[in-house]
Structure 1
Amino acid sequence: MNKFYTFIFLLFAIPAISWGQNDTLYLNNGDMIVGDLKAMDRGVLTIEPTYSDSDFKITWEDIVEMKAVQRYLITLTDGQRINGAFRSAGEGKIFLDNEDGEDLTVDQNEIVNIKSIDNSFLSRLSADIDFGISLTKANNQRQLNGNLRMGYLEDRWSADLYYNTLITKQDDVSDIQRNDGGIGFRYFLPRDWNLGADLAFLSNTEQSLDLRTTGKIGLGKFIERTNSLYWNVTGGVAFTGETYAPVFDPEDGTTITAPSRTSLEGFVGTELNLYDIGDLNLLTTVVLYPTIISDDSVEPGRIRSDFRFDAKYDDFIIDDLYIRAGFTLNYDNRPVEAGKEVDYIFTTGFGWSW
């Protein structure tokens, strides 16, 4: 008989214990959700309920009480990065169980990012990929564009990789191509400062660029970071090397190739991301590169600039599917003879986030 009662106890106790290990949310409409809290970013929390394989997305400000028992990397508005669990500690207050130091209690709106972290590589990886295509009967024009971005997050540093391509073909006209990509590294310092190192590549037909390689190292600071926006500024030095594509001169039938360039540049930039607009995400980046030291092939007073604007609409039709429209502009006030001062592109595409 004792074995029978033990069996009955375990039958009910084991599910109760499992239930107790789940994360719990209470919403301002009275609903309660129990499940696996995955992340909170840009003011939206993602949780997989115990009764569904599909993720739920909930606005951070709609949560009035919560308890999360897993291990998370939690980022605050002042730049602090904390590892541990968290739970509500009164109205609008969150207690952070800091496994690396002193526990603390903060306002709910001071938490700007939460990511479920374990020791696996995939739990720290994120990716966006999208494609777009257009066809025009006139001149049989075809255009293809693709964009890839990947990121990896550790407790004190992050790395990212990106690649963008545009190819345009049409009858009786030379192909137009543009490719840019790069890798970047960020080490997070106290009070929202960060050290950065980047290596970027660019080639485009309009400016006769066969390849521009830019290595940058600098210091950045988040001026503002909330659940509706972030604004970051950076500055430092960059080393740039450029080679140019040969250009055919129809007047004398010869092919001319501009001499390669090398230069040491300063750079100053800013990035603004607005995301408290429903499912719409707006990103603007501007970077200026004044030349400091250059070889004889670069005229004095050279200034380059890169501008980027992206509008991304998340969860289009289904979760993780998005629509993106982007505008990119590159300016050089001292281009080579065969190149243009300005190159810009506008692209659209459908993509998937992971």
Structure 2
Amino acid sequence: MKNFYQVLMIFVLSSATIIAQDSLVFKNGNVIVGEIQSLNKGVVTIETDYSDDDFTILWTEVSEAYTESLLTMVTVDGDRYYGTLRTDNGNIIILNDDGTEIKVDRNDIVNLKPLDKGFLDRLYAGIDLGYTLTRARNQQQFTLRSQAGYLTEKWSIDMNYNVLNSSQDDTEDIHRTDGNISFRYILPHEWFVMAQIDFLSSTDQLLDLRTNSRIGVGKFIKRTNRLYWGVQAGVSYNVEDYEGEGNDRESTEAWVGTEFNVYDIGDLSLLTNVVVYPSITESGRVRVDYRLDLKYDLPLDFYVKTGLTLNYDNEPIEGGVKTDYVWQSSFGWSW
């Protein structure tokens, strides 16, 4: 009878290779087949076709793991791998994407996250829209917040574009546009290098266009399937075109920043970052960019979001304001 169950388990695992992507074998001999969603804080989450809810299991109760899903894996030493898993004589074997094999202790794996190779699986995008119409003074306001990106095992590209247009009778219209495009390349031990271009246009700051190009290096202080916190620093070149003649500026700046992102906390996620720019070529000038986004996921990939974007300049041009900010609440969709 014992041999029968062993043969049956082998058959189940072999069938799982065809039917599903991943298989976990528990210490008590039970087998679960599905798709690994994450490993975080000692708990592995796996999605199956036969349950509405994902299963969560203590990683210490798993004796064997076999995956066909492509996974990003992080060890206790901060080493990152990309590939699949299998078990051999009690050891976890990581088959890297380049064909090499790495043997690690099961307890040394602290983070797993699927990362499919398909183009659409690596692409993400979202758009939020908001509109307000008030009878008094015919006030109208339109807001847009959007983001898109592409993620691989070693690098990522992220883009953001935000717009606020406001108008009412007997008052000048208000227009504000900001956005950025950034590139990040992951190095060993949670270090990364990055390059980013930010732009801002604001009638309140009399700013036709600010283009800030920056490069730098950073490190993830903490990074799991639920959150990350990183710090970064570098240099930037800032070009500003203002309303009127003789007000334009060009300057070189140092910069230092930090970003904190909490995601997958149920349906809630939070992103906040701040960057400080002490000028190198304009003595005494300091700028600050701050962002806060709070998002709540709804069914069918819809969500509601509220967010703050703030820009501070201790030496604005004459007639401009030191602090310019916009708080937007909107309804959106992502994929």
- Work out the CA distance in 2 between the residues paired with 1:60 and 1:126: 28
Q: Taking structure 1 as reference, are residues 90 and 348 closer, same or farther at Cα in structure 2, changes over 3 Å only?
A: farther
- Alpha-carbon shift at residue 288 of structure 1 (Å): 0.3
The residue that corresponds to 1:97 in the other structure is 95
SS at match of 2:189: helix
Q: Which amino acid is 2:311 matched to?
A: N
The residue that corresponds to 1:130 in the other structure is 128
Q: Give yes or no for contact 1:77–1:226 (8 Å, CA) kept in 2.
A: no
The residue that corresponds to 1:326 in the other structure is 307
Say whether 1:340 aligns with 2:321: yes
Aligned length: 319
TM-score of the aligned structures, taking structure 2 as reference length: 0.81
The residue that corresponds to 2:83 in the other structure is 84
Q: Which amino acid is 2:169 matched to?
A: D
Q: Taking structure 1 as reference, are residues 323 and 213 closer, same or farther at Cα in structure 2, changes over 3 Å only?
A: same
Q: Taking structure 1 as reference, are residues 63 and 209 closer, same or farther at Cα in structure 2, changes over 3 Å only?
A: farther
The residue that corresponds to 1:74 in the other structure is 73
The residue that corresponds to 2:279 in the other structure is 291
Give the unaligned 5+ runs of structure 2.
1-10
Q: Give yes or no for contact 1:235–1:269 (8 Å, CA) kept in 2.
A: yes
The residue that corresponds to 1:310 in the other structure is 293
Q: Give yes or no for contact 2:72–2:81 (8 Å, CA) kept in 1.
A: yes
Deviation per residue, 1:254-310 (Å, 9 max, x gap): xxx45210000000000012236432212210100001014xxxxx30000001111
Q: Give yes or no for contact 1:229–1:274 (8 Å, CA) kept in 2.
A: yes
Say whether 1:282 aligns with 2:281: no
Q: Give yes or no for contact 1:329–1:344 (8 Å, CA) kept in 2.
A: yes
The residue that corresponds to 2:3 in the other structure is none
Say whether 1:151 aligns with 2:132: no
Identity %, equivalent residues: 44
Q: Taking structure 1 as reference, are residues 79 and 197 closer, same or farther at Cα in structure 2, changes over 3 Å only?
A: farther
More moved, 129-138 vs 18-27: 18-27
Q: Taking structure 1 as reference, are residues 289 and 334 closer, same or farther at Cα in structure 2, changes over 3 Å only?
A: same
SS at match of 1:123: helix
More moved, 276-285 vs 80-89: 80-89
Q: Taking structure 1 as reference, are residues 17 and 222 closer, same or farther at Cα in structure 2, changes over 3 Å only?
A: closer
Q: Give yes or no for contact 2:155–2:186 (8 Å, CA) kept in 1.
A: yes
SS at match of 2:320: coil
- Alpha-carbon shift at residue 111 of structure 1 (Å): 4.0
TM-score of the aligned structures, taking structure 1 as reference length: 0.77
Q: Give yes or no for contact 2:228–2:261 (8 Å, CA) kept in 1.
A: yes
- Work out the CA distance in 1 between the residues paired with 2:44 and 2:332: 21
The residue that corresponds to 2:206 in the other structure is 208
Q: Taking structure 1 as reference, are residues 105 and 310 closer, same or farther at Cα in structure 2, changes over 3 Å only?
A: same
What is the aligned-residue RMSD (CA, Å)?
A: 3.5
Give the unaligned 5+ runs of structure 1.
1-11, 247-256, 295-299
- Work out the CA distance in 2 between the residues paired with 1:214 and 1:90: 54
- Work out the CA distance in 2 between the residues paired with 1:204 and 1:106: 54
Q: Which amino acid is 1:310 matched to?
A: D
Q: Taking structure 1 as reference, are residues 152 and 326 closer, same or farther at Cα in structure 2, changes over 3 Å only?
A: same
Deviation per residue, 1:103-136 (Å, 9 max, x gap): 2335579544523322x32222112221122222
